[in-house]
Structure 1
Amino acid sequence: MERLRNDIIQCKLPPGSKITEGALCDLYGFSKAPVRTALFKLSQEGLVRTVPRHGYVIAPITIKSVQDLFELRLVLEPALARMAVGKIDIDELKNLNVAPGSSKAEQAEMKFLAANRQFHLAIARASGNQKMLALMTQLLDDMAKLLHVGLFSSDWRAGSMLEVHRDQAQQHEDLITALERGDTEAAAEAAKLHVQESRDLVMKALLSQSSVTVGRVALA
């Protein structure tokens, strides 16, 4: 049921929407047993919530949940950067930190998400801490949902995404430079600044009155 998981992360099943086992069986062509198992796993990951006697709901996005997400990233990612010093494959990071191209908007968005995810996971893996890697993986799934409902609205597609890509690439480059020098404190600081910039960008998009997120995000 990886398709179900991806559809939730990509907001093809919108945050806050109600779902039932029967509806998912019809949609994906599976019997109830694997659907029930998938929903149980997704509830453990925080992607769906169980509603007694009513089925399930796709986990909604709230301003509080976004704030919580970035607070956790601000604790986790500087620590991962410190731990990755001297262990990380610098060439791998450089290859993942590709400059934005001129591909179509949808293609650029998907390329951005995939490369950004692998960049952060590479640092988490280099830390050698499997628990922190698992947590980082979950946080990146949550980030993907935010990007789909926030940054990838029609207003952002009008041209802002290219600027976002460039800013992210430069922030990644600063982190790569610190890691390559073996400077643990500079790496941690670069990771912290990157998360803060991402937080400000996402919050601006989510709070924008013209954003597609209106109706999908609870402003509470």
Structure 2
Amino acid sequence: MSFLAPIPLPAPLTTRALNALRRDIVTTRLAPGETLSEATTAERLNLGKAPIRAALAQLAAEGLVQPVPRRGWIVSLVTVRDIHEVFDLRLLLEPEAARRAAASAQDRAAAAAPERLDAVCRAGYRPEDPASALGFLEANRAFHVAVAELSGNARLARQIGRLLDESTRMLVLGLRRRDRSGEMAHEHRALTAALAAGDAAGAAALMREQVAASRAMVLAALTVPDAATVA
């Protein structure tokens, strides 16, 4: 087979199952440590077992679930090591993405980029409404992906998007214990201003501070005795 041959796309039903399960795991609707049965999951999502099995295999490759002999599957725990590894990578990649996004401000045809970012971060999180955490963190993810895309490096943006999928699950758990949404929205506005001004060093520094502050929040929230983590 030629290496240039098109790669077959996943079956539509598998894609549907994958998207639904990934969303449920990232938003902790399926909690860390929860056991998943292929039959029960297929019934819940109104799909057959084959697409569910294929989707779970893909999620296992992503580290979001783990197969358990004779029990089915289990949603992966969020460990302290996971937190450090994910946020370490974000600290390596996202400040550089922000620096490049700001440095290229004069060359971008999309002059409305700052307005785009500002619009993304307007979603509000209301502690009295737990469901609003999802909307806020989806906007937060979109904001960070948008900054990465403005760097002009599509592969960098994709890698950051994958890391954000992992850290969003951590942030969902973290926001339940400490509401940082107001601070995060303020940080977004400051970063948007730095990007609009073409301040590469300032944008990189602000992004570094944001990611570090989010890691501190997650660690503080998830290292309490009843949190869904292991040492």
Q: Answer whether TM exceeds 0.5 for this pair.
A: yes
Question: In structure 1, how many angstroms separate the alpha carbons of the residues matched to 2:69 and 2:93?
Answer: 34
Deviations 1:169-203 (A, max 9, x none): 22112211221111211111111011111111111
Question: In structure 2, how many angstroms separate the alpha carbons of the residues matched to 1:110 and 1:198?
Answer: 16
Q: CA deviation at 1:129?
A: 2.0
Question: In structure 2, how many angstroms separate the alpha carbons of the residues matched to 1:49 and 1:137?
Answer: 22
Matched, 1:93 2:109: no
Q: What is the SS of the residue equivalent to 1:105?
A: coil
RMSD of aligned Cα (Å): 2.2
Question: In structure 1, how many angstroms separate the alpha carbons of the residues matched to 2:223 and 2:94?
Answer: 25
Task: Name the counterpart of 2:188.
Answer: 172
Which amino acid counterpart does residue 176 of structure 1 have in structure 2? T
Which amino acid counterpart does residue 117 of structure 1 have in structure 2? R
Q: CA deviation at 1:144?
A: 2.0
The sequence identity of aligned pairs, in percent, is 34
Task: Name the counterpart of 1:75.
Answer: 92
Question: In structure 2, how many angstroms separate the alpha carbons of the residues matched to 1:43 and 1:102?
Answer: 33
Q: What is the SS of the residue equivalent to 1:98?
A: coil
Distance verdict in 2 for CA 1:176–1:55, change over 3 Å: same
Q: What is the SS of the residue equivalent to 2:66?
A: strand
Question: Could you list the runs of 5+ residues in structure 1 that have no partner in the other structure?
Answer: none
Task: Name the counterpart of 1:133.
Answer: 157
> Residue 123 of structure 2 contacts residue 139 of structure 2 at CA under 8 Å; is this kept in 1?
no
Which amino acid counterpart does residue 122 of structure 1 have in structure 2? A
Which amino acid counterpart does residue 209 of structure 2 have in structure 1? L
Task: Name the counterpart of 1:106.
Answer: 130
Task: Name the counterpart of 1:43.
Answer: 60
From 167, 172, 177, the counterpart of 1:143: 167
Question: In structure 2, how many angstroms separate the alpha carbons of the residues matched to 1:185 and 1:45?
Answer: 33
Q: What is the SS of the residue equivalent to 2:150?
A: helix
Question: In structure 1, how many angstroms separate the alpha carbons of the residues matched to 2:215 and 2:144?
Answer: 15
> Residue 125 of structure 2 contacts residue 181 of structure 2 at CA under 8 Å; is this kept in 1?
no
Question: In structure 1, how many angstroms separate the alpha carbons of the residues matched to 2:98 and 2:148?
Answer: 8
TM-score w.r.t. length of structure 1: 0.84
Matched, 1:204 2:216: no
Question: In structure 1, how many angstroms separate the alpha carbons of the residues matched to 2:100 and 2:141?
Answer: 18
Task: Name the counterpart of 2:229.
Answer: 217
Which amino acid counterpart does residue 115 of structure 2 have in structure 1? D
Question: In structure 2, how many angstroms separate the alpha carbons of the residues matched to 1:178 and 1:33?
Answer: 48
> Residue 125 of structure 2 contacts residue 135 of structure 2 at CA under 8 Å; is this kept in 1?
no
Moved more, 99-108 or 3-12: 99-108
Q: CA deviation at 1:135?
A: 1.6
Q: CA deviation at 1:104?
A: 4.7
Question: In structure 1, how many angstroms separate the alpha carbons of the residues matched to 2:74 and 2:33?
Answer: 6
> Residue 99 of structure 1 contacts residue 166 of structure 1 at CA under 8 Å; is this kept in 2?
no
Question: In structure 1, how many angstroms separate the alpha carbons of the residues matched to 2:123 and 2:32?
Answer: 31
Which amino acid counterpart does residue 163 of structure 2 have in structure 1? L
Deviations 1:31-76 (A, max 9, x none): 1211122112212222112345653221211111111111011001
Question: Higher helix share goes to which structure?
Answer: 1
Which amino acid counterpart does residue 181 of structure 2 have in structure 1? H
